[in-house]
Amino acid sequence: MITCIYPFDSTTSFLDGVENFLVESLKDKIKIIRPAINEEAHLKVVYDLAKLPNKSVVIFMGHGCNLGFHGSTDGTEDNNFDFFINSTNINTLKHLTIIAFACKSESFLKKIGESRGLVSYLGFGDLPTSKEELKEHITNDIEDNILEKLLKEYINCILTAFKYGMSNYINLSRLYFDLKLILNKRSSDIIINNKDTIEYRQLANLIFKTKNKIRYKVS
């Protein structure tokens, strides 16, 4: 049984398609958990994860950073459960296999997770999912409609790679190489089909960087 933690957050609604895909493809082999927007619900998620058998696979989909994974939010400060998985509780999950589809998750899992005993994980580096974040990776000034198109292309690319990788999931090594293969192919396709467009070459470079920042470790 695979457990998927997918916090409520309007800014990650693009992941709804991944949730539906996982349910349709894995059927009774996956359990989706969406924590309610309160502290008790988040504490219960961590408590329940800690009780799972050794090497159980847990997927986290949502926002992340170097310090941990964000929980559910309605966009207000009073209901914003940042870092509900963090340096103080990741040690209770060290027996699990964690797959984190979240920004900077590879840094958190390696630097903090490993220091707390985590031995099996896969994480990503930067995953820009807004136009403001994408601008940090596109050096030239481009029109807003082009930026929106590039963003949709990038998000579709990483979602397609993740869905394919999970639909064929056997182990972390297989997932890692499936992800790299798909992202590498998409990066090459973009360059071949948009030879004279500098914006798309930068998009291809971003996808290539995304591929290279995927990190995994197995026990």
Of the candidate CATH numbers 3.90.105, 2.170.130, 1.10.3470, 3.40.50, the domain formed by 2-217 belongs to: 3.40.50
Q: Where are the domains of the chain?
A: 2-217
**pLDDT digits over 130-162, tens only?**
888 888 887 767 778 888 888 999 999 999 999
The 10s digit of each residue's pLDDT in 40-50 is: 999 999 999 99
Going by C-alpha positions, the residue among 151, 145, 158, 127 that lies closest to residue 203 is 151
> Does position 183 have pLDDT exceeding 90, yes or no?
yes
pTM confidence score: 0.93
What was the pLDDT predicted at 134?
87
DSSP, res 194: T
Burial status of residue 92 (CB atoms within 10 A of its CB: 0-12, 13-18, 19 or more):
middle
Mean pLDDT over the full length of the chain? 91
DSSP string, 103-161: TTHHHIIIIIIGGGT--EEEE-S----SHHHHHTT--S---HHHHHHHHHHHHHHHHHH
